[in-house]
Each structure stands twice: as structure tokens, then as C-alpha cells.
């Protein structure tokens, strides 16, 4: 019985030695992969992934002090955005032909939601219109304001950084569905310090000025149109 066992053991060892080279290499690669996996798990457990920071646009729109209010009900539709600004990642660029993203610094929401909310609140607070509502709405509106985000980003140059906002606006007459006013407005604000939070502050200031200019332009058009 002992002799039979010894023969089988010897045969097994010989079989292992006679196995092809790729078989032994495969086992080695498996062990290497397991070691890398364990190292990765250890790194994650020790804080290997940086924390993600979220940023919001923050400014207070000034209330109107001219005492006039147009007898107009205005709807504000959800803004569209160029594909570069569809996600919540903050975009930064050094060239018109290349765009990059901060992976761990993000907006609290995609820019189209941020911009839509800011336009709505800015127009409401202005007191320029009889009513300003989010569209679609069950309330009757006379005009519908639509828009598209063409730029919402950090722009880096060798000596300075800037926050750029470019929006395309279009005012529609809801009775005819005609576009009665449209314009592309852009603002660029220098960053005081080369820090992400200062970039967000610069973008906020640019957005504030763009929306304020659009409000003035829309009010001027509707006044000239006899509203």
C-alpha cells in the first residue's frame, strides 16, 4: 500500500514538472493579479481616493428700483447646453481646441439646471414683469424665454485665470410661436487667486452680468413693442 502511494506521488510530481510553461506562467500571473488587487484595496482603505468637492453659483440679483412693471406673463424654459457642459464636471480650458475636467470638483447640478434656476429667480426678483413662472406651466404666459449654454467654464492663460459664461437667449411669442428677440451674451471675469473656489466666484459674477444684460434687453424690446 505504501509503495503504491509513493508511485502515485512520484507520478504527480513528474506530471507537474512536465506541464507546459504557459500553465506555470498563468498561475504566476494569477498570483501577481491577486497581489495588485490586495494592494489596491489597501490603498482605498487608507484614503487613496481624494474627496469630491461640490460648488454652487452664488449671487443675489438686485431688485428693480424703477417702479415700472410690464403687463406681461413670462415663462422660463429649461435651458439647453452644448455637449461639453451637460455633466456636473467643472470644465477648464487653455485652448479653443481642447477641454479638460476637474474629476473631484463638481457643480451641485448640471449647468443647465443652475442657469435655468438663476434666470428664473433673477427675472422674478427684478419686478419687471407681472408674472414670471417656470415653463411648462398651467398658467397662461404671453412670452416664453428659452436659452442655450455656449460656455460655462474656467479659462486658463499663462498669467491669469478667468470665469467665462456665454448664453444664447431667444424670446418666443406664445401666440405665434415666433422668435421676437434673440441674442448671444458673454462675460469674462478675472480670477483673483488661482483656486477652484475663486474660479466659481468668477463664473458666478459672469453669469450675474449676462442675465442682468438679458433682462435689460428683453425689457427694452417689450417696451418698444408697446407692452
Q: Where are the domains of the chain?
A: 2-45, 53-224
0.95 surpassed by pTM:
no
Taking only the tens place, the pLDDT of each residue in 201-218 is 999 999 999 999 999 999
What's the per-residue H, E or C state across 179-201?
Answer: EEEEEEEEEEEECCCCCHHHHHH
Distances (CA, A) of 186 to 98, 165, 215: 20, 6, 14
Taking only the tens place, the pLDDT of each residue in 123-170 is 999 999 999 999 999 999 999 999 999 999 999 987 899 999 999 999
Q: If pLDDT is split at 50, 70 and 90, which confidence band does 46 have?
A: low
Taking only the tens place, the pLDDT of each residue in 88-119 is 999 999 999 999 999 899 999 999 999 999 99
> Cα angle at 195 between 162 and 50, to 5 degrees?
130
Lowest average pLDDT, out of 23-37, 40-54, 129-143, 148-162, goes to: 23-37
> Quick one: CATH architecture of 53-224?
3-Layer(aba) Sandwich (3.40)
Helical pair 196-224 and 111-126, crossing angle rounded to 10 deg: 50
17 pLDDT above the threshold of 60: no
Among residues 172, 181, 100, the alpha carbon closest in space to that of 143 is found at 172
Amino acid at each position: 500500500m505504501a509503495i503504491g502511494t509513493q508511485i502515485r506521488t512520484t507520478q504527480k510530481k513528474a506530471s507537474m514538472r512536465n506541464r507546459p510553461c504557459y500553465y506555470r506562467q498563468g498561475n504566476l500571473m494569477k498570483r501577481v493579479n491577486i497581489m495588485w488587487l490586495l494592494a489596491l484595496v489597501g490603498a482605498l482603505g487608507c484614503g487613496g481616493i481624494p474627496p469630491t468637492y461640490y460648488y454652487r453659483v452664488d449671487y443675489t440679483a438686485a431688485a428693480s428700483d424703477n417702479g415700472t412693471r410690464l403687463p406681461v406673463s413670462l415663462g422660463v424654459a429649461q435651458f439647453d447646453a452644448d455637449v461639453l457642459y451637460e455633466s456636473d464636471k467643472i470644465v477648464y480650458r487653455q485652448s479653443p481646441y481642447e477641454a479638460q475636467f476637474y474629476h473631484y470638483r463638481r457643480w451641485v447640478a448640471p449647468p443647465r439646471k443652475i442657469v435655468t434656476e438663476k434666470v428664473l429667480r433673477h427675472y422674478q426678483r427684478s419686478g419687471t414683469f407681472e408674472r414670471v413662472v417656470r415653463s411648462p406651466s398651467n398658467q397662461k404666459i404671453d412670452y416664453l424665454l428659452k436659452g442655450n449654454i455656449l460656455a460655462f467654464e474656467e479659462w486658463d492663460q499663462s498669467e491669469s485665470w478667468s470665469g467665462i459664461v456665454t448664453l444664447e437667449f431667444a424670446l418666443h411669442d406664445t401666440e405665434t410661436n415666433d422668435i421676437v428677440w434673440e441674442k448671444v451674451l458673454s462675460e469674462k471675469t478675472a480670477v483673483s487667486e488661482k483656486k477652484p473656489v475663486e474660479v466659481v466666484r468668477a463664473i458666478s459674477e459672469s453669469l450675474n452680468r449676462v442675465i442682468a444684460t438679458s433682462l435689460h434687453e428683453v425689457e427694452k424690446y417689450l417696451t418698444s413693442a408697446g407692452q
